[in-house]
Amino acid sequence: MKPVRGQWFMVSGQAALGGGSGSSWVGGRAEPSALTRGAGSERCGRFSASAEPSGGVRRAGRTGPGSSWWSKWALVLALVLCVPAPALAQGISGDQTATMPEEARGRASGYFSRVARLLEDWDVEAARSELDALGRIVPKDAETYQYYAGRVAFEEGRYDDAVQALTAAGIEDKENSYLRLARETRDIIQDHLTAESEHFIFDYPPGKDEILAPWALEALEAQRAALLEDLGYAPPGKIRVEVVANATELSKVSTLTRDQIRTTGTIAICKFNKLMVTSPKAVLTGYDWLDTLAHEYTHLVVSKKSRNSVPIWLHEGLAKFLESRWRGKAGLALSPSTQALLGRRVKENDLIPFEKMHPSIALLPTAEDAATAFAEVFYAIDFVYQRRGAAGLRTIIERLRDGKTDKASVEDATGLPFPAFEKAWLSHIKAQSFPKELLPLEEKVVLKENAPGKAAKEDEPKGREISFGEFAVVTETDARKFAHLGELMRERNRVKASAIELGKAHRIVGDKYEVVSNKYALALTELGRLDEAEKVLLGSLRVHPGVAATNVHLGRIYLARKDWKHAKAAYMEALSTDPFDPEVHLALTLVHERLGEKQLMERTRKASSVLTGLPADKVLAAAERLAPAAAEPTPRSSE
């Protein structure tokens, strides 16, 4: 699981970084594990969770006013130690292999052991090869053979074959059994459509989710190329990405319950040799779905390259540090909010020593401690990277794969004894530039199904975006009163008066609350004071990066100026959080047309048609009306 970027975990997101209940640490890996990793996503910050160290789950969060990044971890940490792993070989009995000659039984036993180990190592291709060889020496209707045939088929995404084989193996159809997982996954995706790139298969529900495919595949291919360069590895074959419609479906294709998913805001999981992600449609304010995909794919690469041997504290550090590679440099994943939390703990001399993270971050006394530890492990990887570059990250993974402990692997990567590494790492953290004050942090993601009466109807026009309830997060009383009055004036079309009152609120709180910044900027834009509105919005994005509404409002200003390059950047940022906003695609259609980007224009024209119902040949004309609308001050009553 992973934390989500604000309006972002990341779930991606997105709690435990070590062996949970029922797991023991052997050479740096948890066995046999029933461990969940919490995930969160910020464009700027996330976590990951899974039922095993090789699986990742991402939670979504919103970088928004008055929210608390660490408070949501209390619930994540509570469930980490109780998520059951799938029931494995229960119910296998009366096996025909018992009648085989002793020598053949010995050979078969060796094959069975290797298949089981290879599946645990996430090496599905080798497990398939061993299973094929096994089929030449044991009866294929033997229950044990059928069980492993079902397991391999499930990992390969052949769900009909998996159901048939696991049924023949006598596996019970009960909660968290592989048969139940295979059957329910098959039923959920049987009507899905697919889009493919060179290395990925994107499986999505019919309808509006089809617009996600080209951007998802593009981001995943970019992340694959970047990690191949950084880590020297890319998984063989095509990786499956399955989009589910809501929390109920995610619970059915994973080992998490619906209540756990709803409570923690989990929106993506890396497990079973695939990525599973919740459609952004299911989330009230969207989430950083492209970063989430990149984060979960990083978990998959690390699991496969290491043969599932990387302990979770390093897994999370690597995924968090590398999740931004699809769009640029590594290490861009910490938001100002996360840095503010860590900075406060540095000032208080209250960091979490490395030894206290063992055996699990989930066992730390508070959720804030856990959140601090997650930020610290990001900087652990950042330190290794600054000292030895990507080669240092490769060394850690490869030494763990070869059987060394996590401490010995870090020593080999950095050239430092582990106590010296820990001291240098903590010094590296303390040397960071942190925000001077604690900033609002993203709140737990709100699923539409959990927000009756709050989610706008999909076809409801945005209009002038008048609302009052969002100001409840503003803790400064005078600022809240000014903001509420300003919005009241804007609702009555007294825009000049609105700007005056919202300006008073903004002078009190500055960039602290994105809702105040956005309302003030909207009033300024309606007055045609674009330079002032741009300054307000850019200030907000420095504190709350990735908020879709802020980027849309900024994009309108650039459209009004016919600044196509900056308009493109703003609307693409909005798309990476809220891909179902028709305005985003209409604006990008116009921008791509003006920049001569014909292929991209056709992509956004098609998406606009899907989202608005307009015929494709009418989309550009509708898009062209956006620029004049953005430039024209709103008629207003006399002030």
The enclosing domain of 483 has a CATH number of 1.25.40.10
404 and 297 belong to one structural domain? yes
Q: At what angle do helices 406-414 and 367-388 cross, to 10 degrees?
A: 40
Q: Is residue 458 part of a domain?
A: no
Give the span between the Cα atoms of 367 and 345, in whole angstroms. 14
Per the structure, how many domains does the chain have? Answer: 3
119 and 210 belong to one structural domain? no
- The predicted structure's pLDDT at residue 214: 98
Read off the pLDDT band of 630 (50, 70, 90). Answer: low
Q: What's the number of CA atoms in the CB half-sphere (13 Å) around residue 110?
A: 7
> Is pLDDT at 32 greater than 70 in this prediction?
no
Q: Is residue 66 part of a domain?
A: yes
C-beta separation of 273 from 124 below 8 A: yes
184 and 236 belong to one structural domain? yes
Q: Is residue 260 part of a domain?
A: yes
Higher pLDDT residue, 233 or 457?
A: 233
268 and 301 belong to one structural domain? yes
- The predicted structure's pLDDT at residue 267: 86
Tell me what the mean pLDDT of segment 419-434 comes to.
Answer: 92
Q: Is residue 120 part of a domain?
A: yes
Which of 171, 189, 211 lies at the terminal end of a domain, its last residue? 171
Q: What's the number of CA atoms in the CB half-sphere (13 Å) around residue 134?
A: 28
5 and 127 belong to one structural domain? no
Q: Is residue 321 part of a domain?
A: yes
Q: What is the pLDDT of residues 168-183, one digit of tens each?
A: 999 999 988 999 999 9
- The predicted structure's pLDDT at residue 341: 86
- The predicted structure's pLDDT at residue 87: 40
Tell me what the mean pLDDT of segment 352-360 comes to.
Answer: 73
Give the span between the Cα atoms of 213 and 205, in whole angstroms. 11
Q: What is the pLDDT of residues 532-552, one digit of tens each?
A: 999 999 999 998 888 999 999
166 and 179 belong to one structural domain? no
131 and 188 belong to one structural domain? no
17 and 156 belong to one structural domain? no
> Is pLDDT at 289 greater than 60 in this prediction?
yes
Which of 171, 197, 231 lies at the terminal end of a domain, its last residue? 171
Tell me what the mean pLDDT of segment 568-586 comes to.
Answer: 96
CATH for 362 = 1.10.390.10
122 and 176 belong to one structural domain? no
Q: Is residue 596 part of a domain?
A: yes
Pair of tokens at residue 396 = 């850690």
Q: What is the pLDDT of residues 319-331, one digit of tens each?
A: 999 999 999 999 9
379 and 286 belong to one structural domain? yes
Domain housing 608: 469-631
> Is pLDDT at 134 greater than 80 in this prediction?
yes
> Is pLDDT at 85 greater than 50 in this prediction?
no
C-beta separation of 63 from 50 below 8 A: no
Q: End-to-end alpha-carbon separation of the chain, Å?
A: 52
492 and 520 belong to one structural domain? yes
Read off the pLDDT band of 354 (50, 70, 90). Answer: confident
> Is pLDDT at 9 greater than 90 in this prediction?
no
Average pLDDT, the chain: 81
User: Residue 265: which of 40, 456, 483, 22 has the closest Cα?
Assistant: 40
Q: What is the pLDDT of residues 589-604, one digit of tens each?
A: 999 999 999 999 999 9
Name the 3-class secondary structure at 190.
Answer: coil
- The predicted structure's pLDDT at residue 22: 29
Read off the pLDDT band of 148 (50, 70, 90). Answer: very high
Which of 146, 171, 196 lies at the terminal end of a domain, its last residue? 171
541 and 625 belong to one structural domain? yes
CATH for 100 = 1.25.40
Q: Is residue 102 part of a domain?
A: yes
Contacts of 181 (CB under 8 A, 6+ apart): 86, 154, 252, 253, 254, 255, 272
Q: Is residue 455 part of a domain?
A: no
Q: What is the pLDDT of residues 184-218, one digit of tens each?
A: 999 999 999 999 999 999 999 999 999 999 999 99
